Amino acid sequence: MIESKTCLLPMITPQSRFLLRMHQHYEKRILPHEGGLLEQPHYYVEAMEILSAREAVIQAELAEKRRRELERRGSRLH
């Protein structure tokens, strides 16, 4: 996780915002161009792989946090 006292949002380019929105479509198997994954622009495929990998890390971190919280609650009951 990146921690900063400076807001990083202004550093996100319009293209980055576009790709973040496109990732939602990618997850639903909706591609921007006709054909399969190999017919998509390389930058698009690479961006989707990066975003998917990052999302998996975030989901794993959230699952671990939930597991610890449940474990903590369970230990209070005993």
Task: Give the model's pLDDT for residue 7.
Answer: 83
Position 47 in a domain: yes
Position 19 in a domain: yes
Position 46 in a domain: yes
- Indicate the helix (H) or strand (E) that contains 58: helix 42-77
Position 52 in a domain: yes
Task: Give the model's pLDDT for residue 12.
Answer: 87
pTM above 0.85, yes or no: no
Domain with 34, as residue range(s), is 13-77
> Is the pLDDT assigned to residue 34 strictly greater than 80?
yes
Query: Residue 12: what are its φ and ψ, rounded to 5°?
Result: -80, 120
Position 21 in a domain: yes
- Distances in whole angstroms, Cα of residue 18 to Cα of each of 23, 31, 65: 9, 14, 30
Position 1 in a domain: no
The total of structural domains in the chain comes to 1
Average pLDDT over residues 23-44: 96
Position 5 in a domain: no
Position 8 in a domain: no
pLDDT band at 11 (very low <50, low <70, confident <90, very high): confident
